[in-house]
Amino acid sequence: MQEGMKNGCAGAPAVLLERISTLLAEGTVARVLGWKAGDMAYNPEPAYFETQEALKDFVYDGFCGANLSKYMIEASKLEGKTLVCLKPCDTYSFNQLLKEHRVDREKAYIIGVGCGGKLDVEQIRRKGIKGIQSIDGAQLVWEESDPGTELKGIGDDVLTIRTIYGEKTLPYGEALLERCHVCKGKEHRVYDELIGQSRDTKDADRFAQVERIEAMSPEEKFAFFQQELSKCIRCNACRNVCPACSCRKCVFDSNKFDSSQKANADSFEEKMFHIIRAFHVAGRCTDCGECSRVCPQGIPLHLFNRKFIKDINELYGTYQAGENAEDKMPLTSFDFGDAEPGIVGERG
Amino acid sequence: MPMKDEFKPKIVAFCCNWCSYAGADLAGSSRLTYPADVKIIRVPCSCRVNPMFILRAFEKGADGVILCGCHPGDCHYSTGNYYARRRMTLLFSMLDYLGVENGRTRVEWVSAAEGVKFSQTMNEFVEKIHSLGKNVRLEDLRCRKE
Amino acid sequence: MQRIGVFVCHCGSNIAATVDVKKVVEMAALEPGVVHAEDYQYMCSEAGQSLIAKAIQEKQLTGLVVCSCSPRMHETTFRKAAERAGLNPYMVEIANIREHCSWIHKDMEEATRKAVILARAAIAKVNLNTPLQPGESRVTKRALVIGGGIAGIQTALDIADAGYEVDIVEKTPSIGGRMSQLDKTFPTLDCSACILTPKMVEAAAHERIRIYTYSEVEKVSGFVGDFTVDIRKKARSVDMDKCTGCGVCQEKCPSKKTPSEFNRGLNNRSAIYTPFAQAIPNVPVIDREHCIKFQTGKCGVCAKVCQAGAIDYEQKDEIVTEKYGAIVVATGFDTIKLDQYDEYAYSQSKDVITSLELERIMNAAGPTKGHLERLSDGKPPKEMVFIQCVGSRCADERGKSYCSKICCMYTAKHAMLIRDKYPDVNVTVFYIDVRTPGKNFDEFYRRAVEQYGVNYIKGQVGKVIPQPDGKLLVQGVDLLDNRRIMKEADMVVLATAIEPNPDVRKIATMLTASIDTNNFLTEAHAKLRPVESPTAGIFLSGVCQGPKDIPETVAQAGAAAVKAIGLLAKEKLTTNPCTAKSDELLCNGCSVCANVCPYGAITYEERQVNDHGIREVRRLAVVNSALCQGCGACTVACPSGAMDLQGFSNRQIIAEVDAICR
Amino acid sequence: MNREKKQAELITEISGVNPLKCMKCGKCSASCPSFEEMDIKPHQFVSYVANENIEALVNSKSLWKCLSCFACVERCPRDVKPGKLIDAARQLVIRQRGQEYLSPDEIPALLDPELPQQLLVSAFRRYRR
């Protein structure tokens, strides 16, 4: 049963809520890291819940797209276990953080939640739907907790959006985040238990966008990125949300490279920032897509990360960060026969 | 002979202490000339070169950056140049992806005995930078469009 | 703010002819931090150096820039001069205006401009230099040798003779290694035991050598000069002090069905055994897996017959912890398994043997008492075929890509010995190439052909087909006259590829010594430091580094010993201060840096930090400055910039970049 | 000349074999059951291709004496696999004949009682339409 609507936001599937409630009650976990309703129907906020009483505000619906793995860095420092709901793609990030000793597996109780793709309000807006008041159809219907069953295809569900201009409808599949169209798969890489069903959302090639850019002339490439990067306001949202950008202090905030700047003092800065940020996470980025999701300017930041991933796959063998917590990362290993940097020019 | 154009490129060459810096020394003691536009920075190993240094050079107006290290397999620290090779390959590929002319960056393995190669490489590189002209793109990539 | 002095050298006319040194002085004086600038004819001369010393004292200089020849030439000179004048030597930077400027440019104006920029970069760097102190670490005057073969024994003897204590850790019950299994040695054909046994005895009797046999290295911590090693002394079940080595226990032991490792499984040994008669120590061990007492609880014959009361069924493994200054790896080799080479019928016929098995057959103490006979029926062979390069020089995964190096010579030896002792036996060798570089080696091989009539045929054998009558049909081809060869042989000997002892991987991991794809230990430099591992204080002896024969092994063993002695002879180690250092407030503890460190110099510890009021326990990278060689790989791998390299810090290099691009 | 160079390239392309990897050990010839019948021996295939001496190779008896038993492919220590080379040379000849494949009714006339069954099967597998 769905709880009542909170700020137009759907509640959470009963099977999930019951299980979380039990785990909290029996003391298996000290707190729950989940979501509560935000001020709008489409922006639930990550939140901690420490009592069963508090769980009445717990929300888990199609808009809960945030990757909570990064929160586990801080949660690992707390007393007792923290329950966290991770989608399949989030578990890659958790594994990567585990590999980098940033999270404590013992401090986490991971519920691998089923995923049928997460919603992106920007996609809805792009369809010309404005003035949203509430959205129906974003709630998750998990009949029973059998993670093995797959839900029907995404084409079947429809979002009904009540706006100040009247009611609109949109197929669920058309409102998905970019990353869901290039989904890495619905298998959880690390978890304590699984709840809920998944359905496949992949309907595009992960590297198609990168390839399109690669095929451009240098002038076109330059124009494309100049266009995109000129939007950057250095709000640091991409950095703050990125599970790989988990440095205690970012190089752009320290004086170690004479690179700390509060405002963009010179024209070079955003470029340097984005290239270096992508480089720092190269080989560690799981391609979770959070950077692009949170960018208020809509810069497709994942295109940087995915370029590195594509290069790594092509030059050093296929590698998926976070697939497990053991494999050596591509930038901390090498092969005697690696390609020379000159290959960049040769590939054209 | 004055150059055809008045363009005086700024070129930074990072050289590892054990092979390439010594190769540059040998070029010097063999009186093998290359343009004065090239300025060498000594680093212990090619793996010491952070991509940030390269971008920093461009930020400050360099027109080309070249990294020289020991040949793969000959690194004084055994494996440093292998890491450098991967890092630079990825960085250069990214710059290419951003539409920056990839001739502005280069990696060359120069041993302590390869004074001739060092000088040749620098001559070639300077010529390449001359053909590319002043570095505008890296400086301009972000520029807010009016 | 630094007080920097800039000293521009004319180098006679080497610099001054192309660079306007006065102009460089003038321009340098304008740079921030510069309080003194002058030029001189020869800065490296006595007079030039005292000029520098005088300026340091008079102007209270805190940093120096010398614009002169390459730092590879005179950096040390100027650093020492600075130190004598009371300045920290690491406050000196060199602007190379000779090799990188005056010698390669002709135009004075251009060269001068470049010299000024190079000086500026050096000044910018010195502005950020900090005084560095070389570290000191103590040296434990004892060496550990892992492996008790000829390599290990020779290294241990050389180190001990130089006056230092050495421990040998040997996995098997006796020292001696592969060489003790050999019958004769090339190119002189002297008996292996006759030259090895005295060395074994000498090592055992040496007052400065301690031998741990039937023992393994379990754990290694520490670093060059100061290693701590746990050695597991496996339970021998025999009291070393009481045993007299009479051998009665071995005679009476009722369990005699265990294949003898020493004889390569060609015959059996008892459960209580010494590997061979000249074993050192001459104290048996009980192989508990095959001992009736240990398996069923009933027996105890050895305890009953032992007059000395040395048998101790209760003995337990013992861990000994020792400190060492240097560690020499001498873990040797084994032959590869032949199960992938079914075409040579090794597993199908007892008369197809490896060369090492032939050594045991030829040996008077071996399974056939030294008589050359077929293992299937005990008959003397009339036709013998040797097949070279079995598993060596092989591009696929069945074998090894490298040349095993010793096979050509030992096969010539075997062929010669057989022809000498059994002139009626025909010997044919199928080879791809005969490789005999080495003193008196090719002469040796030619002797086999010319004097002993050994038949060498160029062409690898395709197949060995066991015949119903027990003969072995060898199918080959003579490549030099394109002729099919079908030879009926009585015995076939395979020159099996050698590979490093499989345990070496485990040991290398403990030592953080690097290893190549073939499991050979990597040397610090393939040409110039061939007996040192890249990990400081670890030395390589024998085949663990690459295939070699006995003379080469002994030579390398001596070289490794000298390197170890050179280390042990030092009272203290001064360490290069240009090492990596991690800023504990920035460190994520992510281990990325440790993953790229070739020296295992980075470890992690959980430590309380105070980060602007936040007190918490964090996982932090710690650089052992005694191990760090200062390459800087970690500094770039570190995403947060916590890891920096002293002497070549991020800010210093960036300052140089900025100065050049200014 | 140029034609033979192209043919040699075609053979290496079809076979996927790098003739330069050969160390001339002769294990292929030693393994070959048809060695005696061949005019050009298996270990020589490699040098014929490397030296672009293709006319001689395709006109040799060996081309059709190879049984495709793959003993040489199996045992070659250098991953050179002369059996694949000869097979590629045969492909080359077949292709040159303008795609004229063998039809089943032509076969009886070509049969030789000495011909091993294995070759027949292998050839048919390869050259049927």
pLDDT (mean) for A300-317:
94
Percent with pLDDT over 90 in chain A: 50
- Least Cα distance to C228 among C238, C236, C237, C218 occurs for C218
Is the pTM higher than 0.90? The answer reads no
Number of Cβ within 10 Å of residue A223's Cβ equals: 14
Within-domain flag for B44: yes
For the domain made up of C4-126, the CATH class stated in words is alpha beta
Q: What is the mean pLDDT of residues C336-344?
A: 93
Alpha carbon of A264 to those of A261, C639, C661: distances in Å?
7, 21, 20
> pLDDT per residue over C459-468, tens digit each?
999 999 999 9
DSSP state of C468: T
Return phi, psi of residue C247, to 5°. Answer: 90, 0
From chain B, pick out residues whose CB is under 8 angstroms from the CB of C525: 76
The answer to whether the CB atoms of A328 and C595 lie below 8 A apart is: yes
Q: Which chains touch A (3 or more CB pairs under 8 A)?
A: B, C
Calculate Rg over the CA atoms of chain A.
21
Average pLDDT over residues A1-12: 52
pLDDT at C471: 96
Q: Are C404 and C498 in contact (CB under 8 A)?
A: yes
Q: Which pLDDT does position C436 carry in this prediction?
A: 95
Please give the residue that has the higher pLDDT: either A5 or C103.
C103
- Which structural domain range is residue B121 located in? 11-136
Does the interface predicted TM-score (ipTM) exceed 0.95? no
Query: Which amino acid type is present at position C194?
Result: C
Contact D21 C393 (CB under 8 A): no
Q: How far is CA C450 from CA C210, C407, C445, C446, C455, in A?
A: 47, 19, 9, 6, 10
Q: What CA–CA distance (Å, rounded) separates D109 from C70?
A: 84
Distances (CA, A) of B70 to B44, B79, B121, C522, C528: 11, 10, 14, 17, 15
CATH topology of domain C142-174+208-234+318-329+515-568: FAD/NAD(P)-binding domain (3.50.50)
Burial group, residue C180, by CB count within 10 angstroms (0-12, 13-18, 19+): buried
- Please, how many CA atoms are within 13 Å of residue C112, restricted to the half-sphere of its CB? 15
Given a cut of 80, whether residue D114 has pLDDT beyond it is no
- 3 state DSSP class of C205: helix
Which chains touch B (3+ CB pairs under 8 A)?
A: A, C
Contact A329/B at CB under 8 A: no
Nearest CB to A341 within list B88, B98, B145: B88
pLDDT given for residue A10 in this prediction = 59
Q: Is residue B130 part of a domain?
A: yes
Kindly state whether residue B17 falls inside one of the protein's structural domains.
yes
The answer, yes or no, to whether residue A315 has pLDDT greater than 80, is yes
Residue A154, pLDDT score: 55
At A15 the pLDDT is: 87
- Spatial separation of the C-alpha atoms in residues C660 and B38, rounded to whole Å: 10
Q: Are C472 and C352 in contact (CB under 8 A)?
A: yes
Domain ranges of chain D: 2-127
pLDDT digits (tens, 9 = 90+) for C280-289: 999 999 999 9
Spell out which residues of chain B touch residue C104, defining contact as CB-CB under 8 Å: 27-28, 31-34, 119
Q: What is the tens place of the pLDDT at every residue in C474-512?
A: 999 999 989 999 999 999 999 999 999 998 988 988 887
Residue C283 neighbours by CB distance under 10 Å: 21
Which band of pLDDT confidence, cut at 50, 70 and 90, is reported for residue B1?
very low
Q: Give the pLDDT score at D102.
A: 62
Percent residues over pLDDT 70 in chain C = 100
Please state the φ and ψ torsions of residue A339, each to the nearest 5 degrees: -65, 150
Model pLDDT, residue C204:
96
* pLDDT confidence of residue B142: 44
Q: Do the domain assignments include residue B144? A: no
Q: Name the pLDDT band for D3 (thresholds 50, 70, 90).
A: confident
Which residue in A99, A247, A328 is closest to C639 by CB distance? A247
List all residues of chain A from 266 to 325 with a beta carbon under 8 Å from chain B.
266-272, 275-276, 278-279, 282, 304, 307-308, 311-312, 315-316
Interface test with B, best of A274, A275, A306, A319 (most B CBs within 10 A): A275
DSSP character at residue C261: T
Average pLDDT for A93-102: 94
Element (H, E) at C120: helix C108-126
Nearest 5°: the CA angle A306, A311, A317 is 115
- D30: how many CB neighbours lie within 10 A of its CB? 29
Asked if C13 and C41 count as a contact pair (C-beta separation under 8 A), the reply is no
Q: Both tokens of residue B55?
A: 């971008």
What's the pLDDT at D101?
61
**Whether the predicted pLDDT of D74 surpasses 60:** yes
For domain D2-127, give its CATH number from 1.10.1760, 1.10.3470, 1.10.1060, 1.10.3210.
1.10.1060
Q: The tokens 């190549």 sit on which residue? A: C516
SS3 content of chain B, % helix, strand, coil (to 5): 45, 15, 40
pLDDT at A123 over 50: yes
Q: Please tell us whether the domain made up of C334-499 is placed in CATH 3.50.50.60.
A: yes
What is the band of B2 on the pLDDT scale with cuts at 50, 70, 90?
A: very low
Contact (CB, 8 A) for C640 and C586: yes
Stretch C4-18: mean pLDDT: 95
Q: In whole angstroms, what is the distance from residue C7 CA to residue C25 CA?
A: 8
Contacts of C655 in chain A (CB under 8 A): 258
pLDDT attached to residue A3: 42
Under DSSP, the state recorded for C282 is: -
Architecture of the domain spanning C576-646: 2-Layer Sandwich (3.30)
Q: Do chains D and B touch (3 or more CB pairs under 8 A)?
A: no
Does the pLDDT value for residue A7 go beyond 70? no
CA distances for C606 relative to A283, C160, C612, C621, angstroms: 26, 40, 18, 9
Q: Where in chain C is the domain with CATH 3.50.50.60?
A: 142-174+208-234+318-329+515-568, 334-499
Q: Which of B24, B56, B80 sits opposite C99 (nearest CB)?
A: B24
**Is A68 in contact with A31 (CB distance < 8 Å)?**
no
B143, pLDDT greater than 80: no
Task: Please determine, for residue B40, whether its predicted confidence score (pLDDT) is greater than 90.
Answer: yes
CA–CA distance, C492 with C414 (Å, rounded to integer): 12
Asked if pLDDT for residue A1 goes beyond 70, the answer is: no
Q: What is the mean pLDDT of residues B34-63?
A: 93
Q: Report cis status (omega within 30 of 0) of the bond before C187.
A: yes
Q: Which residues of A touch C585 (CB under 8 A)?
A: 248-249
Query: Does residue C323 have a pLDDT over 90?
Result: yes
| More confident position, D90 or C231 | C231
Q: Quote the Cα angle for A283-A286-A289, to 5°.
A: 125
Sign, CA torsion B81/B86/B91/B92: positive
Tell me the two tokens of residue C374.
């077929």
- Mean pLDDT confidence for A86-101: 94
| Angle at alpha carbon of residue C466, lines to C463 and C468, rounded to 5° | 150
User: Residue A308 has what pLDDT?
Assistant: 95
Phi, psi values for residue C292, rounded to 5°: -65, -40
pLDDT at A153 over 60: no
SS3 C92: strand
Contact C219, C232 (CB under 8 A): no
> Which pLDDT score, from 0 to 100, does residue B140 have?
53
Q: How many other C-beta atoms lie within 10 A of the C-beta of residue A263?
A: 6
Q: Shortest CA distance to D86 belongs to which of D49, D118, D115?
A: D49
How many folded domains does chain B comprise? 1
Phi-psi region of A195 (alpha: psi -120 to 50; beta: other; left: phi over 0): beta
pLDDT for res C463: 94
pLDDT digits (tens, 9 = 90+) for A231-272: 888 888 999 999 999 898 888 888 777 765 545 555 566 677
Determine the Cα–Cα distance for residues A89 and A115; give it in Å rounded to an integer.
9
The mean pLDDT of chain C is 94
Which segments of C24-80 are extended strands (E)? Answer: 34-40, 63-68
Specify the pLDDT at position A234. 82
Question: Which CATH number belongs to the domain containing residue B84 in this structure?
Answer: 3.40.50
What local confidence, expressed as pLDDT, does residue A146 receive? 59
What pLDDT does residue C569 have? 96
pLDDT per position as a tens digit, A182-218: 999 899 999 999 988 888 888 899 999 999 999 999 8
Q: For chain D, what is the total number of helices (H) and then of strands (E)?
A: 9, 0
CA distance A99 to A322: 8
CB-nearest to C586 from A101, A102, A254 is A254
What are the sequence ranges of the domains in chain A?
14-195, 208-347
C83-101 average pLDDT score? 95
Residue B52 belongs to some domain of the structure: yes
